[in-house]
Structure 1
């Protein structure tokens, strides 16, 4: 079961996105949610990186909550 994030919540990237020089842990705001059928991952549009005029489209597995990211960073630091 995947988490559904509310619009305008902040999330962290769960993996690097080299095409935009974004790194795991970079924070963005969800501006759109794309629900998909049960067998497919939901999608999200993210904005707010330090990249002007970029809206990044990601699958739900590519983002995590900011709280979860901070907990993982504390464990692995």
Structure 2
């Protein structure tokens, strides 16, 4: 599994069926492993649309890039 359950990801492309745009952020709630040679799938929730779960292929999502806060010694 490339993405961990309950991690946040961003869409790599628009999903017109749900009026979701590239860059929209959601949380992974399920993972669908596929046989070798096929792409794994994921269920996403938490878009600005309530009560929907969107199923996507692994290639349609990406990890959210977070900046790391570096703290100096005090």
State whether TM-score is above 0.5. yes
Rg larger in structure: 2
| CA deviation map 1:25-74 (0-9, x unaligned) | 00000000011111100000000001010000000000001118xxxxxx
- Consecutive unaligned residues of structure 2, counting only runs of 5 or more, are 67-74
What is the alpha-carbon distance in structure 1 between the residues aligned to residue 8 and residue 57 of structure 2? 15
Structure 1 unaligned spans of 5+? 69-77
Aligned-residue CA RMSD in angstroms?
A: 1.3
Equivalent residue in structure 2 for 1:34, among 23, 27, 32: 32
Deviation >4 Å, runs of 4+: none
Structure 1 equivalent of residue 53 of structure 2: 55
The correspondence for 1:24, drawn from 14, 22, 25, is 22
TM-score (norm 1): 0.82
More helix by share: 1
Separation in 1 of the partners of 2:46 and 2:58? 17
Q: Report the equivalent of 2:72.
A: none
Separation (CA, whole Å) in 1 of partners of 2:22 and 2:65? 14
Please state whether the residue corresponding to 1:36 is helix, strand or coil: coil
